[in-house]
Each structure stands twice: as structure tokens, then as C-alpha cells.
Structure 1
Amino acid sequence: MRLMSQDLSAIRQQIDKTDIEIQQLLDKRARLAKQVAQAKFAEEENPVFYRPERESQVLKNVIARNKDGSLEDDTLTLLFREIMSACLALQKKLRVGCLGPEGTYSQAATFKQFGHGVDCTLLPTIPDVFKEVEAGNLQYGLVPVENSTEGGINQTLDCFATMQLQICGEVELPIHHLLLSNAEQLSDIKIVYSHQQSLGQCRKWLETHLPHIETRAVESNAEAARLAVQNPESAAIAGKIAATMYDLRKLEENIEDKPNNTTRWAVISQQTVPPTGQDKTSLLLLPTHVDKAGALFELLQPLSNNGINMTRIESHPAKIEKWQYMFFIDIEGHHQEALVSQTIDAIKSHALVKLLGSYPKAIL
């Protein structure tokens, strides 16, 4: 036991020494970040500090170096995102908007993408996020695009059709829902609040365990948690952050119908992003020959002809004429790449095309 105690003491001394080295290296990185800011201000009048393509490459390098590491890739990328976030804040603190109030999944996605060094502005609706970024009051916004269980987010798709902003990044977040309440047991609950998407993601669970209660859709899961605090006979479907923030009892955990339930957010801004080699391009297509047989086939045929992989397609009412639809598609590649550019030009023969943005693929 004495030998073990001596070994433990020696290991702790090594840990203390390593901590000092880590802190010194962090300080060095911070000083280099300040030098980057000085160099940019010397060269540009209004420099852009957040570079999604640069951040993507840094994280790819982190993962590539971690072949025999003791930490998991997602742990290391989380650490490096926070380091980059803190250093970026020394250059210029980013203003990022997302759907509020406190405790939403959108807020969690914002911190996953940007780290905690940003000024996170919580807004009441998804259209408000678009408006604040378009007005220049916020530099970036995070808006939910689609869920792996329930599909596209209609409010976001409507905004993409009308707003003149670019997608410059994406982030995916596994969604695990909890049933939160001040009630003692399920039988005490008479109403469940949640966002419409979350209600859909938990539809089977609700039908099985709470078949006769009222469900009411609200603007966000955090708002649902706030309402559940006020009504002891109600519950909210929300996440762990909301449970802690609103001090609600976790009656049930992981009530989503699909265990791999995931939501994808788009980072929106007025900023375009150069190619990284591992990119996606999002397009909005409004077919010009809707009454022609095979119109959708013709619309997408250039993708097949040029070997461009389509990772997503979603139809959405165009709201121009009755039964007229537009299509949101994601393809692999960057619009500045020759083959992708040629493909988009070919699609323009069959549809009005709006480029929503090219951006690095989500990393973990």
C-alpha cells in the first residue's frame, strides 16, 4: 500500500506538471489569436473572424491525429471548439441568435457549434432569428432545418424561401426527450406541452402511456417547461438543460420513438464560405414545367448525369399558386467546384434555382 501511495503521488506530480504545460500552451494560443486580430485589422477595414472552413479543417486535423488517443473524438472536438471559441472572443465576440428561451435544444446546438465564448441571443421565434441576422443585428443564427423522425421544419423552410441569407455551416445534435413535471406520477398529468416537432417525435410513447391527455404545441420546449412549472397537472417534453433550469422532476427519460432521433441546424449569415473538400450545397428549386410528365425526373437528372450525390430532398408548398410545390435539396460538393456549378446550371433549364449556401459538412 505504501508503494502504491508513492506511485500515486508521483503520478499526481506529473499531472500538475502537465496542467502547467497545458495552461502555458493555451496562453500561447490566445496570444497568437490576438496577433491574428491585429494582422486582420491592418489588412481589412471590416475583417471576418469566424471562418467555418478554417474551423472545420482544425477539427478534422484533431480527429486525424487521434488514431491512438485516450480520449474519444467527440470529447476532443468539444475541447477544441471551446478553445477556439475563447480565442475568437479575444479577437471579436460573436453575436449569435437562436430560438429561446433558456434551455432549448437550439441553445444547446449553438454552444456545440460555437462554444461558450459567444454572445448567445435567445429569440421568441425562428423568423425572428432570420430577421435579426438579415438586419445585421446578429452576425450568425442557428435555425433547425430537419429532424430525422419528423422531417423538415416548416417555419425554417418558409424563411429560406423569402430571406436573402446564406447557410455557412451545419450542426447535428442527438435529441433525447424527457417528460418533465412537478406532478408525482403520470396519472396526475392532464396536459402535455411541447414544440410541435417534439410532440411528433414522441407520438407513439404518448399514445401508449398518456393516451387520453391533451397535448398542446408551443414555440419551444423550453417554453413548455416554463408552462409546466406554473401548472402542477401539466408536463413538458424537453431536454436535460430545461429540467435543470426550471427545476422540474424527470418523470420519464428517452421517450422519443426513435433512439437515433437527431435534429440538424443550419448556421445562417451574410457570409459565403470557400470550399473545404468536404462540403454540402443547399438549393431551393421551383419547377417551371409543373404540368409536364416526368418534370421532377428531368429536374434531378443532371445530378445523376454528373455523378452528384443528393443527400436530401423535401417538397414544400410554394404558396404562389394552389398545389404548386418547391423542392429543397442538399447535394455533396461546393457550388464553386466546376462539376457542381455545371450541374446547377443544367437544373436551371427546368427550374428557378436559389442557392441557399455551400458549407462544410457537420463534424460529429
Structure 2
Amino acid sequence: MSLEDTRIKIDAIDQQLIRLLNERAELVHVIGEIKKKDGLDIYVPGREEKLLRKLCELNSAQQGLLTEKAIRAIFREIMSAALALENSMKISFLGPAGSWTHQVAINKFGNSVSYVAEASTEGVFSRVACQGVDYGVLPIEHSTEGAVHHTLDHLVDSELQIYAEILWKVETVVMAKGDVASVKVIYGHPQMLAQCRPWLGQCYPHATLIESASSSLAATHAESEPGTAALGTPLSAELHGLRVLSTSPREHATRARFIILGRRSGAPTGHDNTMLMVHARDRVGALLEVLQVFASRNVNVRQIENRPVPGDLTGEQARFFLEISGHHEETSLQETIHDLTAQGAKVKVLGSYPAPGWVEER
């Protein structure tokens, strides 16, 4: 076919896509009305992941040219548009605009819903608690820095729960107004500079690395100062009108975990995780006793964190955060919690959520 013939065929396909997308939107609206009537959540992460996996399997079966990443990105935006039609969904995130958490939130919920930046973890919790937004997005762990304890501590003191979890592949970009040759200074958050220093030394050997209080402030320097670049997210580059000059090599990429904060846990999917807080006396064998209870019920403990107990000046108390395989409504986990309580421990369910099966990335 000629170029013109090919374009005519594409135009015809686009007309079909628009018609089908609107038909889909009408059906989603019907589902939304049913959910509102029955008091069900509009956004269901377990259903979303199941649908995305099915679509990727269909694409693979048809030997489609599109990658799994592309299929997920396309349909996430389609679903985002549908969510926006239903109730103008609002998502709060740990800001400022262009932060990693902002980038993660957009990748998860798409560009059609509304976003609200909060300067602190407390702000995100407060915004969700007062129903000013539907959900909040917060970091909970970084592969090199460990758990984000501030988020865990707030979960203990709040009635809010983890509704879903996001695994994120962190790839940092260098952004600037000019080209690579013009870069004399690179601003970045101290943690980001430390992670990227090896490849920055190779790609920008003559650039001076300067610490910045935040990635957003670093981007502001790059936006206003000639010869200056910044480390940050692709989203930050877009927001500040900067060019992405280079991206961190895959071998330097790290992983981070984020939570979607909601007013209740996610519904059981058959493949879930649960976060528990276990408060016990700090004595020899305390953690072992806790773990033995889980082992006796054949419940898998995936991860353990411990934190000091606020107000415990004597150091006689211990607080453990345990991520468990399974949903807190399952009998085995309910029996485990009962056994722990019978031993004198205090247990709080911080949320049950679908176990992530896909690592998100830009």
C-alpha cells in the first residue's frame, strides 16, 4: 500500500476505536451506578490487575507488536478516563509536584483524575481521613534505604489502612535547558546524588555535583540557571520545561514500594498480603515467640521491621511490623491474630491488599 492508503486505513481504525471507547465508557458508567447504589468501591485494584493481565495475555496470543508495558500504559489511561467520569476521583500524594510519589501516582491512576500535593505524610493522612480525597499515595520502602518508618508509624495511629501496594522501578533522569556539553553543575537530592554518583562521573566528568533540599528545588535551579542540570523524575522535567539529557543505566536502577492509602483494606483476591503491627514485651526470644505463632499456623512472614514504641522510656516494649502472605479475613490469619492476642501481644491490622505482580516504571 502507498503512504496515503495506509493513512486512510489508520483513520478508519481510529474511527472504530473512538466508537468502541465510548461504548466501553457507557458500560463502565453502568457498573459505576451499580457500585454507588450498593456502596462499593469504584476503584478496585485487584480487578484492575486481573484485567490488565488478561489484556496482556490476549495481546501475546495474537502475537501483537505492542509490549506488555505499552498495553498496561494504554489501558491504564482508558481506565483513568473512566474513573474521572464516575466521581472526579482525587488522589493525594507526598509532594511537591514532580516528586517520585507524584510520578508513581500518575503511573498508577493515569492523567484523567485529579491530584493534590501534600508537603508531609501527616498531610496525606489528614486529607484521606477527612474525605478530601479518595486515596493517598505514600512511599513505604526503598531497596537501598529500607523502610520509610514515618509512614509505618502513622498507620499505627490512624484508622486508615493500606488499600493497595505499588512496586516501582526507580530510574533517575538528568534534565536541563541546554545540551549535555553545556552542563557544568548538577543539583540533586543527597540520596539521589549518592545513588547516581558512579554513572554521573562517567557521563558528566567535569560537572560539579551540588546537594539540593529536594528534587523540585534542583529542577528550579536547572530551569533558571544557565549551565545547570538537575536529577529527578521525567515528570519533573515536563513540569519545569526541561529536556531529559540522560537516564540512569538499568544496572543503577533501584526499587521502591509505595502504598495506596484508603479508608479500608482491599477486598480478598486470593493472592494478597497483609501488614500487621505486633506490640509485645521486649525480652529475650520475643520476636521468636511471635514468629513461632505464625509458623504453627503455616502462615508465611514475608518481611519484618521493628520500631521503638513512642513514650516507652524504659525500653521494655517492642513493636514489630510484619508483612504476611494472605488476607486478614482468611481463617488461618484470623486464628494467628487470636493466638498472638492470647499470648498478651497487641495486634493491629494495617491493611490487606493485592500482592503486586508487576513492577511499575515510567
Q: Name the TM-score class by shorter chain.
A: 0.7 to 0.9
- Answer yes or no: is the 8 Å Cα contact 1:192–1:235 preserved in 2: yes
The amino acid that maps onto 2:149 is N
User: Aligned partners of 1:315, 1:205: CA distance in 2, in Å?
Assistant: 34
Q: Residue 48 of structure 2 corresponds to which residue in structure 1?
A: 55
Q: What's the offset of the Cα at 1:55?
A: 2.0
Please name the residue that 2:211 is paired with. 215
Q: Aligned pair in 2 of structure 1 residues 27, 252: CA closer, same or farther (>3 Å)?
A: closer
Q: What do the CA deviations read for 1:202-229 (whole angstroms, capped 9, x no partner)?
A: 466689979996534x3x4224322554
Query: Where do 1:141-152 residues align within 5 Å?
Result: 141-152=136-147
**Secondary structure of the corresponding residue to residue 305 of structure 2:** strand
Tell me the CA shift for residue 40 of structure 1: 3.9
Write out per-residue CA displacement over residues 47-72 of structure 1, whole angstroms, 9 at most, x where no aligned residue: 53222232233223223333334222
Partner amino acid, structure 2, of 1:300: L
With the length of structure 1 as denominator, give the TM-score of the two structures.
0.83
- d(CA) in 2 for partners of 1:265 and 1:48? 20
In the TM superposition, residue 354 of structure 1 has moved relative to its aligned partner by 1.5
Give the equivalent residue in structure 2 for 1:99: 94
Q: Counterpart in 2 of 1:302? A: 293
Aligned twin of 2:282: 290
1:312 to 283, 303, 316: 303
Aligned partner of residue 96 in structure 2, secondary structure: coil
Work out whether residues 298 and 350 of structure 1, in 8 Å CA contact, stay in contact via their aligned partners in 2.
no
Percent identical pairs in the alignment equals 31
Aligned to 2:338: 345
Q: How many residues align?
A: 350
2:67 pairs, out of 67, 72, 80, with: 72
Pairing partner for 1:354 from 332, 335, 348: 348
1:198 Cα deviation from its structure 2 partner: 3.0
Q: AA paired with 1:225? A: A
Give the Cα separation in 1 of the matches to 2:326 and 2:152: 21
Q: Give the structure 1 partner of residue 236 of structure 2.
A: 242
Deviation, 1:261, is 0.5
Match of residue 332 from structure 1: 325
Contact 2:118/2:124 (CA < 8 Å) preserved in 1? Answer: yes
1: CA distance, partners of 2:338 / 2:4: 67
- Segments of 5+ residues of structure 2 without an aligned counterpart are none
How far did residue 253 of structure 1 move? 3.6
Matches within 5 A, 1:1-364: 5=2, 11-41=6-36, 43-44=37-38, 48-68=41-61, 69-70=63-64, 71-180=66-175, 188-189=184-185, 192-194=187-189, 197-199=191-193, 201-202=195-196, 215-216=211-212, 218=213, 220-229=214-223, 236-248=230-242, 253-254=247-248, 259-286=252-279, 288-291=280-283, 293-322=284-313, 323=315, 325-348=318-341, 349=343, 351-364=345-358
One-letter code aligned to 2:295: S
CA distance, structure 2, for counterparts of residue 57 and residue 144 of structure 1? 24
Given residue 287 of structure 2, which amino acid in structure 1 is its aligned partner?
L
**How big is each residue's C-alpha offset from its partner over 1:71-110, in whole Å with a ceiling of 9 and x where there is no partner?**
2222212222211111122211111100222211211111
What SS does the aligned partner of 1:116 have?
coil
Deviation digits for residues 312-333 of structure 1 (CA, Å, limit 9, x no counterpart): 2222333332555422221211
CA contact (8 A) 2:196 2:252 kept: no
Q: Which runs of 5+ in 1 are unaligned?
A: none
Distance 1:231 1:305, change over 3 A: farther
Q: Is the 8 A contact 1:273 1:358 kept in 2?
A: yes
The answer on whether the counterparts of 1:176 and 1:254 sit within 8 Å (CA) in structure 2 is yes
User: TM-score scaled by structure 2?
Assistant: 0.84
C-alpha deviation, 1:186, in angstroms = 9.6
Q: CA RMSD in A?
A: 3.1
The one-letter code matched in structure 2 to 1:274 is A
CA distance in structure 2 between the partners assigned to 1:107 and 1:74 by the alignment: 19
